[in-house]
């Protein structure tokens, strides 16, 4: 690793007794950025309802935000045998009780409740790049010039190809400990680029678990002194950008008889709202969706079976089986998963407004 870690020093203190106290880390999303702070409780907790509301006093913005606990996980950074310590994801509200303008979870939750009878599931593939904060370059890249061109890195092994696998491993286990449905991880196409998958997750839990997995990644990065960027085109040039492919299915799509037909109907509905989707599929996504580097061009909707250059792809094994899920390849790595899952469900399941027919 580029920078020596202090993890072994910290470990000594984490083995000290914490008495009968519980440490809870409150985590919230402030305008697409994660924040967190800790609090001691003097009782054990098992359910999110047992965690009191708190507030962010708005030091940097002059307005107080109410933090309302919505989902509970175990804290891998304060491990105990009984998993006593918790991470709690919070929704943000204004003091008058209305949802904070950037609280996209609130809207998403309403949509997921409305379409609950379709049982929407998601799986998101989070790509990211590790950054050496001292050099302000991707981890392991030479001080001057560039590493060897893409081709040998994807799913590669060996110290000449892989920079930062310790972080990937630590994060993977941290997610499992926390209770996040991490499905796997792989080394990506661009050097020091990686991916992890979360899912399948039903409804609102997709956004919750992806945000938590990102939180864990940033925290693991701190331990190793390595930064993370979710920018969709962190390096200009012949280097793959970073996406957050969103895999989606409903109950009907997962069933044998009408699976493929339901997917095709959903894709047609989604195609009518391509630019509305693009509007919530991440900042600077135009730098990534060029039609090259395994992307479909941002300016036109396309779809295909096994086509990695399309907006939406039906995986080959799904087409063969006639049921399963589809993959929306447009979302960028910096998306808010609540906004992505909301619009996919709305576009594919709501009645089509007549204004969309010409
Ligand atoms: P790719 O071939 O695009 O790299 P991955 O293996 O990285 O695919 O990711 C596939 C994703 O599809 C995983 O996140 C997984 O959770 C998700 N997935 C699998 N089955 C379903 C399903 N029925 N509905 C929604 N998502 C699913
Ligand atoms: Mn993948
Ligand atoms: Mn990928
Ligand atoms: Mn994919």
Distance 151 CA to ligand 2 centre (A): 17
Per-residue confidence band for 8, with pLDDT thresholds at 50, 70 and 90 = confident
**278/297 same-domain check:** yes
> Which of 56-60, 138-142, 183-187, 290-294 is least confident?
56-60
Residue 299, domain CATH: 3.30.590.10
79 and 129 share one domain: no
Check pocket membership of 99 for ligand 1, CB cut-off 6 A. Answer: no
Q: Is the beta carbon of 338 within 6 A of some atom in ligand 1? A: no
User: What's the CATH number where 70 sits?
Assistant: 3.10.20.70
Average pLDDT estimate for 288-313? 93
Where does a domain end: 54, 79, 102?
Answer: 102
> Same domain, yes or no, for 141 and 202?
yes
**39-to-26, 68, 268, 288, 307 alpha-carbon distances in Å:** 8, 14, 48, 40, 48
Q: pLDDT per residue over 95-151, tens digit each? A: 999 999 999 999 999 999 999 999 999 999 999 999 999 999 999 999 888 999 988
Quick check: CB of 243 below 6 Å from ligand 1?
no
Q: What is the mean pLDDT of residues 145-174?
A: 93
Same domain, 87 and 56: yes
- CA–centroid distance, 358 to ligand 1, in Å, is 35
Q: What is the pLDDT of residue 44?
A: 97
- When divided into structural domains, the chain yields a total of 2
pLDDT of residue 1: 46
In a domain, 51, yes or no: yes
**69 and 217 fall within a common domain:** no
Q: Could you identify the atom of ligand 1 that is nearest to the CA of residue 197?
A: 14
* pLDDT value, residue 354: 59
Distance 271 CA to ligand 3 centre (A): 23
Based on the domain organization, do 211 and 131 belong to the same domain? yes
Residue 324 structural domain = 113-357
Residue 122 within a domain = yes
Q: What is the pLDDT of residue 62?
A: 64
42-78 pLDDT, tens per residue? 999 999 999 999 998 876 666 789 999 999 999 999 9
Within the chain, residue ranges assigned H as helices are 7-14, 104-114, 165-178, 205-224, 259-271, 274-279, 316-321, 337-349
Q: Which atom of ligand 1 is nearest to the CA of 195?
A: 7
Ligand nearest to the CA of 124: 1
The pLDDT value recorded for residue 29 is: 96
Contacts 24+ apart (CB under 8 A), 300-303: 300/274, 301/270, 301/271, 301/274, 303/267, 303/271
- pTM of the entire predicted model: 0.96
Domain-terminating residue out of 49, 72, 102: 102
């Amino acid at each position: 690793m580029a920078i020596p870690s202090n993890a072994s020093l910290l470990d000594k203190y984490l083995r000290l007794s914490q008495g009968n106290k519980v440490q809870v880390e409150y985590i919230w999303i402030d305008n697409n950025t994660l924040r967190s702070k800790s609090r001691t409780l003097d009782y054990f907790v098992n359910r999110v309802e047992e965690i009191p509301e708190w507030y962010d006093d708005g030091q940097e913005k002059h307005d107080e935000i109410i933090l309302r606990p919505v989902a509970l996980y175990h804290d891998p950074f304060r491990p105990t045998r009984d998993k006593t310590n918790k991470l709690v994801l919070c929704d943000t509200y204004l003091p008058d009780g209305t949802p904070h303008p950037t609280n996209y979870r609130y809207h998403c939750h309403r949509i997921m409740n409305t379409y609950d009878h379709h049982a929407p599931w998601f799986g998101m593939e989070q790509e990211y790049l590790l950054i050496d904060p001292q050099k302000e370059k991707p981890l392991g890249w030479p001080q001057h010039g560039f590493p060897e061109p893409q081709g040998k890195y994807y799913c590669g092994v060996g110290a000449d190809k892989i920079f930062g696998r310790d972080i990937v491993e630590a994060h993977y286990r941290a997610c499992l400990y926390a209770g996040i449905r991490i499905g796997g991880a792989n080394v990506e196409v661009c050097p020091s680029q990686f991916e992890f998958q979360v899912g399948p997750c039903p409804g609102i839990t997709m956004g919750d678990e992806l945000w938590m997995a990102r939180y864990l990644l940033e925290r693991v990065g701190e331990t190793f002194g390595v930064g993370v960027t979710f920018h969709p085109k962190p390096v200009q040039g012949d280097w793959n950008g970073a996406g957050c492919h969103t895999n989606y299915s409903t109950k009907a799509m997962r069933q044998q008889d009408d699976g493929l037909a339901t997917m095709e109907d959903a894709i047609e509905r989604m195609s009518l709202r391509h630019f509305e989707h693009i509007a919530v599929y991440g900042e600077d996504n135009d730098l990534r969706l060029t039609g090259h580097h395994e992307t479909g061009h941002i300016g036109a909707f396309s779809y295909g079976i096994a086509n990695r250059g399309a907006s939406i792809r039906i995986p080959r094994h799904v087409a063969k089986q006639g049921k399963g899920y589809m993959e929306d390849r447009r979302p960028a790595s910096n998306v808010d998963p609540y906004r992505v899952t909301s619009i996919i469900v709305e576009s594919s399941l709501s009645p089509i407004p007549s204004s969309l027919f010409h």
